[in-house]
Structure 1
Amino acid sequence: MHDDQCSQCIVRSPSNTKLIPLNITFLNVSETENLLDNQEELISTPIQVKFESQENNQDYILFSIPYIIKRSNHRENIIKIRQPNGIWISTETNESMFDAHKEKRFVECKLSQSTACAVVSRLRLDTILINKKSSGRFTSNADSRVTLQWPKDVSQTNIRINLRVQPVDLPAFTQFSENFSHESEGLLGVGPIIDLDCDDITLLKPIQFKLPILLPTKKNEGSMKSSGIDSQRTVTNQTTQDIILQQQQSIFKSMLGEDSNNDRLILLYCNQNENTWHIDTNVSITDTKTHDIVTTDLKCLHPRMIIARCDKQLTSTKKIQTAIKLLEQSLSQRSVSLMVRRRLSNVNEICFVCCSSQRTNTVNDDLQQENYTNDDEQFKELTLQEGQLLELRFRGNVLPNDYHQQSYSFAFNTNFPYYFQTNVSQTDKYSQHFSPFFYGFVQIFSKQKVLRAVPKETDKKKQQTETLKQEWHDVDVCLAELVVRLPKPTEETGIPTTKTLPTFTVEGIITPALFRDISASLHGDEWRWLARRLGMTRIRIEAIEHDHHDDASYYMLFAWFKRVPRSTDKVSLLINALVNINRWDLAQDLQAIKDEKRQEQKTSSKDDQLRSFYVPFNRICQRDECIRIWKQIARELMLTNDDIEHIERQYPSKEERCLRSLEHWASNNAQADITNLARIMRSLGFKSLARELDNMA
């Protein structure tokens, strides 16, 4: 299904180099965490290359790696290698072709030592060299519409600028406007994001930039006056072809001089190591008649900048800054599809796929060819970062057969769908008995940083609380959960004949139903071993087997129950006997039933005790003077400050707080009775109330 994604690498060496043994393996996913930078995409399988480097360190190998994506004008393909400190850096990369593999594309680099490497697609890097003594002009290789022009003596020193152009095409901007319709209101178009990497220099003269910009999309007045829901429907139903047609009409009208000039141009910039966009108010931007190219003169080179076209009626510039920040984030995010399918020929075999939403149809075709069903498919969509590390986990009643580890790590990649095929089975065949399916879940987790408040040490004598300290913590966040359905087997089973087994009077937790469950869980000769541990003779065991055959185990327990004196702790004897025959599971279940029964009896006794206090408690809570000092009463009843604070948070009225304090005392104090309650109320000055309580006692 996806084996052809990883083609073979080609290794060459100079003619005078000695034979070098090589070991080439795929790199573990966890080791690719820092591989991709912003706007980079992985287009090959990460590879670990190991070989013995020579002592003189002059020998090298030429390592060619195939990649799977075509070169575009605004992107370039380079090989990144991992340094010993774990940092990935780009190395000198060349395109290479081989006669035996003309249908594949390769990039090649020199390796002089063992390392990990991968092919990455990134924004094309243009290098501009400006001579201070002469004027010049530069046209970007990524986009010929991006030009720089500078005069003579533009600076005191020569300038070297690294330029990257991140395009913002019409479909991406349209999708952004639909997803953030409120935040992008008033934003009519943008140009590409320009990255400038140069030394901190002072320009003596401005440098002229010519940049492309998207044409403004005009909206109908009727839709602008309609409600927000109708406006959303208009934007959603408007196709890309309609927008292109509007832009062509806008160009034609502007050439005829029919431009309404209801928009303005703004230059926004972002400094290094900063995530905030600012507006440069010291520049003037000139628009062309066709509105698709703008010109500006810059006296200061910003590390990152973009030109935006916005509505003149928009008064808040902060809204444009927020919109550009969201646009930048959306350009680095990818729409991801998650799906779980079941194979038709083997219902226990499932396939989980994580792929780019653009590849959903292709993946669907692959799964159909592999005989996976489309019926009742599980499908979800997420938004992820390129190269984001994820964890695949399972929970519920349907788990993989070899599920020994808690998670399976993988990284999202636009060009490489992630497939996980496994055989699953149910963990408990008796659960979910009302459904024709067993159910489990596939979960997708990711590490995210969360700001949490860490309490500082506080002085109890101080009345005011100190400010909490904020710290970042890495936590596992569940991004999505998909249901796994395993059909139950449809085996025909005969209708069992109803057998009448003897019953007896229930004694504690020992009931006929309990004996039936235990006897059904005993296999083979286990019931005989249990009978021996319970003190039965061999002759008695053989007689029971001869008389009752299939129901011998139940009749054995019945006979033992009748023989043991009523005063004996039968449950403990049965638990010890089950432990002696190594049926720990049955012994634990029996002990759990016993503990649950004891807890019920304990709870019942507490409820009875609270009922006995019903009248005294209500008499106290009917007095306003008692309600007003409920905290003082609670402290006399030996309630802690935490208990009092908890009651105060949970119940709004003072009357209910007073009642809950009394109930807490009665439930948690072994010496709680009406006489002690009367003594406490007398010490608080309620003498007449204390006499009433004494009469109740």
Structure 2
Amino acid sequence: MDLEDIPGNSEEDVTASIKLEKIPGERLGKIPDLEKQMERKEVPKQTGNGKRRRKAKRSRKERDVNPKEKSNESGQSNREGEFGSTELEDIDPTNTAKLFSGRSEEEESQSDWMTKEFLVEVKDSSEPEVACCITAPRAILENLVIRAVNDLSSLVVDDAEELVSNVISTEFLQNGPTILPPVTMVIPFNSRYRGMYKDIMVKVTDMNFQSSYLTPVSLEGHQGNHKGSFAEIKTSQLGTFSVVSGLKLETLTIPREGLSRKLSMDPRISFDFPLSTFDSCVTMHLKVQPIEPSILSLLKMKQDMYHSVVSTSPLVHLQHPSAQPFNKSVTVILPCPPNPEKKRDGDETDHGRATSASIHRRASVHHFRSKAYNNLPLQAVRNILKKLMAMSASPRKQGEHLNESLKLLGYRSKEEEWTLLDEVTVRNVRSGLVSFELNEHLERFTVIRQSSAMDKAHLAHLVRHLEEDTHNTMANVVLYQNKEDPYKIVVLLVPSKELNLALQSLREEGYSGPPEPSPQFRLKEGEQVHLRFSGNISASDDGVTTGKTYTLSFHAQRKPRLALQIKEVDEYGNYSSPHFKGTALCYKVSKEVIAKNVVQPLLPQDYQHQDPVCKLALTLPKKDKIISRPQSTKRISRDSSEALWDSLLHWLSGELSEDNASSLVLFLPLHRSTLQFIKLKCPDNRTEQIYEVLCFWNRNLRRSADKPQLLTRYLCKIGRSDLAEDLRFRWENKVFPRNTLWLQSYI
């Protein structure tokens, strides 16, 4: 039966239902009306009970005798819209809708399920981001609150993990439900580095920061109009969710009969458990931590005692939950790169030997001939030549016979830490692979290839440094200003290997230095850099509040970013410079300090006792200000003598050169701050600057002072006797300069 045949339904209802629910099977949304109709049709059929029952019994007999006739009758009754009494007794009216719809009870219970996309406001992002998509009942979605809590990222990620998504918090409203049924959650993430040793997991953290892991059902696909990487999980718990990239976990189940297994993450690593290694079935969990050659090279550059180390194998983490000891030795094969200089040295020595041998041979023969040693027996000459060739070839064979050794280091427990296992012999299986027999449980182990012997303590120190450095990343702080608006800055915390890409991206956005990026320093995943501003420049993230401390949490696969506005603290500061000057101080805060200050915010005095990891110098160009000259310096008076004197000062300021003015200032009793104020007041007009200087000097003199006589004396001292005579003449004869005739008429 089609939906249009059901009374009370229309195409408009169907369309609205599809738009609202977006779930399969919603076209049968009017099933309750259908059930009422069926009940109305069934009422008159109940009046002829006896006949119907006899007819039903007869139909059963006929079904046994002639099934073909029964099928024809049933087809006819269906066309007429009638049912036999047997069918009416066996079929519950409430199940009629299920008969028409063909849906199970589980599908009926999920008829109100829908998918909702949650958007969150992320700090330092101009647009809201998709936090997650959840498929759940409508009542659950309407009472579910999703928030971005990226400030807690330092506490939800471990050293061996890398955060690749936002940290989102899920909780119900106060009046909402308290139990979450199993729902589907899809979290977008961005992982740039995966590799064969890494795996993507969803980490769930509770209120006490206790974490558990969920394996995603899928990692790639579409979510609405978005295409990319999405971690899809099934969960029935609330908490803080994040997608992390961590070491891949591989589980080995070793039966009593033994097991030979290559790891799926790296087939070069294999374990061979012989028969009866354990008395019963044992489960082991394995993780492999690769050690980058650059980490070893950096350690060798810093400390000379590690110069003999050639290479290392990956660091293997082995978890053995069972307390059973090893009854037999387990054969382990690990990759350990050979000495890269061995083959190269061998090739060079072979080539050098052929060349030098021929040269020495010709030289020796020539030497013997020149010395007239031809009378010696031929055998004696051959013996001498062999000795010379052996002496010339002995240093060239040194590269072919390097005294290499392989050492196994293991970590049994916290009490013993890393130790050298001298009793275990490590052998070369083939190029780049080593093998050894393991007869005890070790939590972690690795193999070191060295060109010469090294102290046991130094080897243990080396492995501890390598293990620690695998969790460290070299990073830089970048602080760039906007070219068009230098008061806008961005601050980035990026890994050093991505520095060039980050700088190029900033330049495309219109940002550039100075200052230059900071020197690189070490950071662990989740550690923070606290940024404070000092000097004559302050910063604000909202355009109002200044003097705050800004936090950048480091995550190797994410790009922490701050967008700030800076301004000068004192507009009259840095008077001797065309720029305002300040400094950005960056302090490194460890995860231990962050964990201790979860309840109370971290204060600057908690970390300012240590030296900052970097200092970035900032400058701001000064803006040209139009400052109206104070009326106190415009000494216009109704007294003719005062007006004449003011006009003479104005005339004199136009006659003095810059060098004359500089020499004259030395004789005038003026403070340095006054001269600086005059420069700010009239930055581009030299005549106005000299005039203001003379006005300040004139105002500070006593009324009884003979101002013309003092000024003419100063002019004579700077070598301008001509101006002194002209000034005296104008003053005595009351001659106003031409450019101040307006002043005379005003008087």
Q: TM bucket by the smaller chain?
A: 0.5 to 0.7
- 1:185 aligns to 2:307 (yes or no): yes
- 1:288 aligns to 2:410 (yes or no): no
Decide whether the 8 Å contact of 2:515 with 2:618 is kept in 1.
Answer: no
* Count of paired positions: 462
- Equivalent of residue 44 in structure 1, options 145, 149, 165: 165
Decide whether the 8 Å contact of 2:528 with 2:590 is kept in 1.
Answer: no
Offset of 1:300 from its aligned partner? Answer: 0.3
| Deviation string, structure 1 residues 594-649 (Cα, Å, up to 9, x no partner) | xxxxxxxxxxxxxxxxxxxxxxxxxxxxxxxxxxxxxxxxxxxxxxxxxxxxxxxx
| Deviation string, structure 1 residues 288-331 (Cα, Å, up to 9, x no partner) | 242x101111110200110111123x242222222222222221
| Deviation string, structure 1 residues 153-201 (Cα, Å, up to 9, x no partner) | 11123211110001124344334433x3514221111100000011233
Offset of 1:373 from its aligned partner? Answer: 2.4
Trace 1:118-267 onto structure 2 (pairs within 5 A). Answer: 118-132=242-256, 134-178=257-301, 180-199=302-321, 200-218=323-341, 260=401, 262-267=403-408
2:458 aligned partner: 319
Trace 1:321-336 onto structure 2 (pairs within 5 A). Answer: 321-336=460-475
- Aligned-residue CA RMSD (Å): 4.1
Decide whether the 8 Å contact of 2:334 with 2:434 is kept in 1.
Answer: yes
2:443 aligned partner: 303
Unaligned runs of 5+ in 1: 222-255, 452-472, 503-511, 522-550, 560-697
Offset of 1:103 from its aligned partner? Answer: 3.6
- The CA distance in 2 between the partners of 1:165 and 1:6, in whole Å, is 38
Decide whether the 8 Å contact of 1:74 with 1:141 is kept in 2.
Answer: no
- The CA distance in 1 between the partners of 2:526 and 2:218, in whole Å, is 24
Matching residue's letter, 2:208: N
Instruction: Give the % identical residues.
Output: 19
Offset of 1:59 from its aligned partner? Answer: 0.8
Trace 1:460-539 onto structure 2 (pairs within 5 A). Answer: 475-476=607-608, 477=610, 478-490=612-624
1:397 aligned partner: 536
Offset of 1:109 from its aligned partner? Answer: 2.2
Offset of 1:43 from its aligned partner? Answer: 0.7
SS of the residue 2:218 aligns to: strand
Offset of 1:410 from its aligned partner? Answer: 2.4
1:23 aligned partner: 145
1:116 aligned partner: 240
SS of the residue 2:316 aligns to: strand
Trace 1:609-624 onto structure 2 (pairs within 5 A). Answer: none
Decide whether the 8 Å contact of 1:66 with 1:106 is kept in 2.
Answer: yes
2:375 aligned partner: none
Offset of 1:97 from its aligned partner? Answer: 4.0
- Equivalent of residue 188 in structure 2, options 66, 69, 72: 66
Matching residue's letter, 2:319: D
Matching residue's letter, 2:589: K
Decide whether the 8 Å contact of 2:131 with 2:168 is kept in 1.
Answer: no
Offset of 1:270 from its aligned partner? Answer: 1.7
- The CA distance in 2 between the partners of 1:376 and 1:18, in whole Å, is 51
- Given the superposition, is the C-alpha separation of residues 309 and 5 from structure 1 closer, same or farther in structure 2, using an over 3 Å criterion? farther
Deviates more, 1:104-113 or 1:492-501: 492-501
Decide whether the 8 Å contact of 2:221 with 2:227 is kept in 1.
Answer: no
Matching residue's letter, 2:613: L
- Equivalent of residue 521 in structure 2, options 382, 403, 409: 382
Trace 1:586-625 onto structure 2 (pairs within 5 A). Answer: none
| Deviation string, structure 1 residues 647-691 (Cα, Å, up to 9, x no partner) | xxxxxxxxxxxxxxxxxxxxxxxxxxxxxxxxxxxxxxxxxxxxx
Trace 1:336-355 onto structure 2 (pairs within 5 A). Answer: 336-355=475-494
Decide whether the 8 Å contact of 2:156 with 2:209 is kept in 1.
Answer: no
- The CA distance in 2 between the partners of 1:196 and 1:311, in whole Å, is 28
- Equivalent of residue 572 in structure 2, options 409, 422, 430: 430
Decide whether the 8 Å contact of 1:50 with 1:114 is kept in 2.
Answer: yes
2:25 aligned partner: none
Deviates more, 1:328-337 or 1:164-173: 164-173
- The CA distance in 1 between the partners of 2:545 and 2:428, in whole Å, is 63
2:551 aligned partner: 409
2:208 aligned partner: 85
- Given the superposition, is the C-alpha separation of residues 396 and 85 from structure 1 closer, same or farther in structure 2, using an over 3 Å criterion? same
Deviates more, 1:203-212 or 1:16-25: 16-25
| Deviation string, structure 1 residues 50-84 (Cα, Å, up to 9, x no partner) | 23598683613211111111542110010111112
| Deviation string, structure 1 residues 529-558 (Cα, Å, up to 9, x no partner) | xxxxxxxxxxxxxxxxxxxxxx99x98999
SS of the residue 1:353 aligns to: strand
- The CA distance in 2 between the partners of 1:104 and 1:436, in whole Å, is 50
Trace 1:635-674 onto structure 2 (pairs within 5 A). Answer: none
User: Given the two structures, how large is their TM-score scaled by the length of structure 1?
Assistant: 0.59
Decide whether the 8 Å contact of 1:337 with 1:355 is kept in 2.
Answer: yes
Decide whether the 8 Å contact of 1:448 with 1:474 is kept in 2.
Answer: no
Q: Is the radius of gyration larger for structure 1 or structure 2?
A: 2
- Given the superposition, is the C-alpha separation of residues 316 and 129 from structure 1 closer, same or farther in structure 2, using an over 3 Å criterion? same
Matching residue's letter, 2:261: F
1:94 aligned partner: 217
Decide whether the 8 Å contact of 1:34 with 1:88 is kept in 2.
Answer: no
- The CA distance in 2 between the partners of 1:474 and 1:400, in whole Å, is 21
Offset of 1:399 from its aligned partner? Answer: 0.5
Offset of 1:142 from its aligned partner? Answer: 1.9
Decide whether the 8 Å contact of 2:186 with 2:231 is kept in 1.
Answer: yes
- Given the superposition, is the C-alpha separation of residues 404 and 105 from structure 1 closer, same or farther in structure 2, using an over 3 Å criterion? same
Decide whether the 8 Å contact of 1:139 with 1:145 is kept in 2.
Answer: yes
- Given the superposition, is the C-alpha separation of residues 145 and 378 from structure 1 closer, same or farther in structure 2, using an over 3 Å criterion? closer
- The CA distance in 1 between the partners of 2:480 and 2:140, in whole Å, is 51
- The CA distance in 1 between the partners of 2:208 and 2:477, in whole Å, is 34
- The CA distance in 2 between the partners of 1:339 and 1:18, in whole Å, is 44
- The CA distance in 1 between the partners of 2:408 and 2:215, in whole Å, is 35
Offset of 1:105 from its aligned partner? Answer: 0.9
| Deviation string, structure 1 residues 425-445 (Cα, Å, up to 9, x no partner) | 111122222222211111112
Matching residue's letter, 1:34: L
